[in-house]
Structure 1
Amino acid sequence: MGNTMTFVATGDSFITRRLPNASSESFRSLSNLIGQAEFRFTNLEVTTHRQEGFPFAFSGGTWAMAQPEVLLDLQAYGFNIMAWANNHTMDYAYGGLTATKKYLEQYGIAHAGVGANLAEASQPVYLDCPSGRVALIAATSTFHESWIAGEQRPDMPGRPGVNPLRYETTYILPQEEFAHLERISRSIPINAAFNLDVKEGFAVAGDGTSIRFGGNRFAVGAEPACETVPALADKKRILKSISEARRQADYVVVSIHSHEMEGENKASPAAFFEQMARACIDGGADAVLGHGPHILRGIEIYRNRPIFYSLGNFIFQNETVSRLPADFYEKYNLGHESTVADAFDTRTHHNQKGLGVNPYVWESVVPYWRMEEGELTDLLLYPIELGFGTPRYRRGWPVLSKRQKILEHLQTLSEPYGTIIELDGHVGRVRI
């Protein structure tokens, strides 16, 4: 175990424009902060290529493509390792995935979570630092089912894709309501296709503890509820990667991209994510980095290891992509004469709704933490702002902020986990 290791992590870098000024005070102050750590992480949430891929039929929301040189701008901030398993990895199909991987490697960026097959997508990636070696394992729970990397066989190649963290959802109903739902399922053919697939061997029947209603599973309980648990196969695979990394590196970090939430509260992670994050720490990880919902979520210190349930955005430029496929325009009843600007004006009702008008999307923190002999000793939180209220072609670049309300909001989000964040001027300090 190395004596001391320092870490910086950020949430999503949805970068679609080139850095305008690397000599500005706002840029230098942030890059100096990031550069103080040895392990410097961001989540790359765009594909980087020159249209080497075609638009996939499904996207993560906005088909995310940027010129490969944006990777140089992320390196200019100081980042030296990235995850890119998320809901935009396959926006431009396999061509976009392969090209993004090519440019990441061309610029010498360590990256995790995506690969030519499941083994490659789930393997640890190592970063050799002056004070020791750090492993990164990355996965995503938010993806189209066809994006999952396929496993190799002796007689069949695998499939490129993301390292998945699937989850199982069960809706709980009291006995009377459950019985009523069961009667409905027998009176209408809502399960007909699935039942036939079971009879013909194309699907597997349930274990008898629940019923299927359309695409959802229901079971009996005392109170109505929604329960989510990590899929066992994915949990075992990720924990196996952690075990491998634990024996090959001084520190192990796990990145999980997850949009899923508890009920309709976007700031509250789904139960399966909390369960999986703690299981990762139990399995030997030293930190879990969550991102995905584009807003902050709480911080938990579990077994003296940090779990960031969402680090929000670091760079967010989702409305300045240069091109969009026909699918996007058709969704909003726009024709071939329409432009990207028309598409975003329509989607946001001229900036009257959507992520652009949610102030929490445009603020976050950059955590800096130190571990000595494997134990967390310091965790500092530096608030940032991304230009809320400015035009979409300007907002999205981070600057260090002096707004204590950002830290106070994070205090509230972290209270349910028993985490105490003390304010030290314009910086938050987690009580260890």
Structure 2
Amino acid sequence: MATGDALFGRDDLWSRIDHEMSEVLNESEYVFTNAEFVVASRETPVMPAGYTLGANDAAVHALAAVGVTIASLAHNHIGDYGPAGVVQTLDAFEASPIVAAGIGRSLAAAREAVFYEGQDGRLGVVACCTTWAEEYAASDGGRHNAPRPGLNPLRWKLSYEVTPEQFDALRALDEALGTAPAHRETLRIERKFAGDDSTFTFGPLAGGLTVHKGDRARLRWQADEQDLAEICRSIRDAARRAEAVVASIHTHEGEDDGWYTDLPARFIIDSAHAMIEAGAHAVLCHGGHLMRGVEFHQGRPIFYGLHSLFFDLESGARIPEEMFTRYGLPANAYPSDLHGMRRRDEDGTPVGFYSDARFEQSMVVLLDIDPVTGAVAVEATPILLNMNAALPSHRGMPTIAKGDDAVAVRDALARLSAPFGTTVGWDAERGRLTFTG
């Protein structure tokens, strides 16, 4: 049973979850989610690089209570409380019945597959993350440095190809601003590459844009070859040790460098293909908080966007002052001030994640994996996340989509999957989405 992100602030999931939804989760002993929070003590300082998701040990027990047995912890919030928060989160999961993947006290540990031993056999899981992977990656340390706790990274680079005319125009602008000669001098002293006739860096010396001269304007995505090779090596190891293997990718990156585009970034597609070829029976992508399409590669499914199982944005209370001020609020604001302005504008119109059906529609996927032949049968239950429910405690909590709502989920997923040659059907009698690739 594959689900997307589990994001919630209150720990009483069992009392809030819909009865029918609970029955769906109980169909399988093997229930996967991405636990998108950090378990950190009150004494652990926050590292607020963005929207911060702090929780406590009760959040882990809440997931176990609704049936989750396997969780990815490799996500772009795992570093919200620094390396100490990574270790505390890992400790909390190790003390629970949930098997946790994708983070470790060192890079080698974060890379490894984890295994859930169930009645029907052993399931191996390899989890990685692309979003903020560089910042939150684990490290093995060295002769004089301790290992750094963190996530299993799938790092990547984005550069820009432009026409010769555009290249020359950017080069001329760089010279006119005075940045080009200053950067050349800095790079000469630092003994770093300063560019040539076909490539240069435009913009800030730290974090500028790599520009290539080409025949058209386009983005160039490149996954880190060593990261991908190590992830695939872990998948191959898991395939030799388990009856079934799934790979998990936490990713926001989309086509045209957007987080909310229909298609994933090209390097995600290429990486998912490589993971299937390494032995994964399925690849599960999540992170963007919306559905993306489904593809079958070598007969095995890739879900490019599972959206969320829980998307409760409003009950979290561990909000640092910097998070308030980042959204234009005073440092002494209340959580409801932040959550309220992200939910409605001044006129009361829904905004952000509350404004569009694509943030409402999600799914829970059932994978039937034959351990002998490797064949994978796929079906899914469409769900709604009730982002605009009248009661605050109901918002972001899943219920099963029925009737026209279920058909709307099917239609959205069919449109998203069409570029991959996948047909999405609707079995109204059983209440299940079907997939043909």
TM-score for both structures, normalised by structure 1: 0.90
Query: 1:217-268 CA deviation, whole Å, 9 max, x = no partner?
Result: 1222322111212111211221221222222222221110111110245221
Q: What is residue 436 of structure 2 aligned with on the other side? A: 431
Q: What is residue 288 of structure 1 aligned with on the other side? A: 283
1:92 to 1:377, Cα distance in 2 relative to 1, 3 A: closer
Q: What is residue 330 of structure 1 aligned with on the other side? A: 325
**Aligned to 1:261, which of 254, 258, 270?**
254
Q: What does 1:3-22 align with in structure 2 at a 5 Å threshold?
A: 8-19=1-12, 22=15
Return the alpha-carbon distance in structure 2 between the equivalents of residues 331 and 234 of structure 1.
32
Return the alpha-carbon distance in structure 2 between the equivalents of residues 337 and 381 of structure 1.
44
Q: What is residue 398 of structure 2 aligned with on the other side? A: 398
Q: What is residue 409 of structure 1 aligned with on the other side? A: 412
Partner SS for 2:305: coil
Partner AA of 2:362 in structure 1: S
Return the alpha-carbon distance in structure 1 between the equivalents of residues 56 and 312 of structure 2.
13
Q: What is residue 46 of structure 1 aligned with on the other side? A: 37
1:180 to 1:20, Cα distance in 2 relative to 1, 3 A: closer
Structure 2, unmatched stretches of 5+, are none
> Which runs of at least 4 in structure 1 moved beyond 6 Å after TM superposition?
none
Q: What is residue 354 of structure 2 aligned with on the other side? A: 356
1:247 aligns with 2:240: yes
User: Offset of 1:152 from its aligned partner?
Assistant: 3.1
When the two structures are aligned, how many residues end up with a matched partner? 421
Partner SS for 2:263: strand
User: Offset of 1:192 from its aligned partner?
Assistant: 6.1
User: Offset of 1:368 from its aligned partner?
Assistant: 0.4
1:370 aligns with 2:351: no
Partner SS for 1:99: helix
User: Offset of 1:90 from its aligned partner?
Assistant: 1.3
Return the alpha-carbon distance in structure 1 between the equivalents of residues 58 and 220 of structure 2.
43
For the 8 Å contact 2:313–2:339, the answer to whether it is kept is: no
**Aligned to 2:302, which of 303, 307, 317?**
307
Partner AA of 2:364 in structure 1: V
1:297 aligns with 2:292: yes
Partner AA of 2:333 in structure 1: S
Q: What does 1:171-186 align with in structure 2 at a 5 Å threshold?
A: 171-186=160-175
Query: 1:89-137 CA deviation, whole Å, 9 max, x = no partner?
Result: 1112233222211111111321111111111111111112222222111
1:239 to 1:337, Cα distance in 2 relative to 1, 3 A: closer
Partner AA of 2:248 in structure 1: S
Q: What is residue 141 of structure 2 aligned with on the other side? A: 152
1:69 to 1:223, Cα distance in 2 relative to 1, 3 A: same
1:220 aligns with 2:213: yes
1:30 aligns with 2:35: no
Aligned alpha-carbon RMSD (Å): 2.3
More deviation in 270-279 or 64-73? Answer: 64-73
Partner SS for 1:343: helix
User: Offset of 1:15 from its aligned partner?
Assistant: 1.7
Return the alpha-carbon distance in structure 2 between the equivalents of residues 202 and 51 of structure 1.
44
Partner SS for 1:233: helix
Return the alpha-carbon distance in structure 2 between the equivalents of residues 190 and 39 of structure 1.
55
Return the alpha-carbon distance in structure 1 between the equivalents of residues 145 and 182 of structure 2.
30
More deviation in 342-351 or 28-37? Answer: 342-351
Partner SS for 1:423: strand
For the 8 Å contact 1:332–1:347, the answer to whether it is kept is: no
1:344 aligns with 2:333: no
1:144 to 1:381, Cα distance in 2 relative to 1, 3 A: closer
Query: 1:284-323 CA deviation, whole Å, 9 max, x = no partner?
Result: 2111100011000000011011100010011011222113
For the 8 Å contact 2:124–2:246, the answer to whether it is kept is: yes
User: Offset of 1:279 from its aligned partner?
Assistant: 0.9
Q: What is residue 84 of structure 1 aligned with on the other side? A: 73
Percent identity of equivalent pairs: 29
User: Offset of 1:32 from its aligned partner?
Assistant: 2.7
Query: 1:3-25 CA deviation, whole Å, 9 max, x = no partner?
Result: xxxxx100000021133654x8x
Return the alpha-carbon distance in structure 2 between the equivalents of residues 213 and 13 of structure 1.
39
Return the alpha-carbon distance in structure 1 between the equivalents of residues 134 and 376 of structure 2.
40
For the 8 Å contact 2:126–2:234, the answer to whether it is kept is: yes
1:121 to 1:275, Cα distance in 2 relative to 1, 3 A: same
For the 8 Å contact 2:113–2:234, the answer to whether it is kept is: yes
Query: 1:48-75 CA deviation, whole Å, 9 max, x = no partner?
Result: 244242110313x2x1122321222211
For the 8 Å contact 1:58–1:144, the answer to whether it is kept is: no
Return the alpha-carbon distance in structure 1 between the equivalents of residues 62 and 359 of structure 2.
22
Q: What does 1:204-215 align with in structure 2 at a 5 Å threshold?
A: 204=193, 209-214=198-203, 215=208
Return the alpha-carbon distance in structure 1 between the equivalents of residues 393 and 198 of structure 2.
52
1:261 to 1:336, Cα distance in 2 relative to 1, 3 A: closer
For the 8 Å contact 1:280–1:288, the answer to whether it is kept is: yes
Partner AA of 1:253 in structure 2: V
Return the alpha-carbon distance in structure 2 between the equivalents of residues 130 and 193 of structure 1.
65
For the 8 Å contact 1:229–1:275, the answer to whether it is kept is: no
Structure 1, unmatched stretches of 5+, are 1-7
Q: What is residue 5 of structure 1 aligned with on the other side? A: none
Partner AA of 1:394 in structure 2: H
Return the alpha-carbon distance in structure 2 between the equivalents of residues 193 and 321 of structure 1.
46
Query: 1:316-374 CA deviation, whole Å, 9 max, x = no partner?
Result: 11222113111012223433442111222334436642112222212201110212124
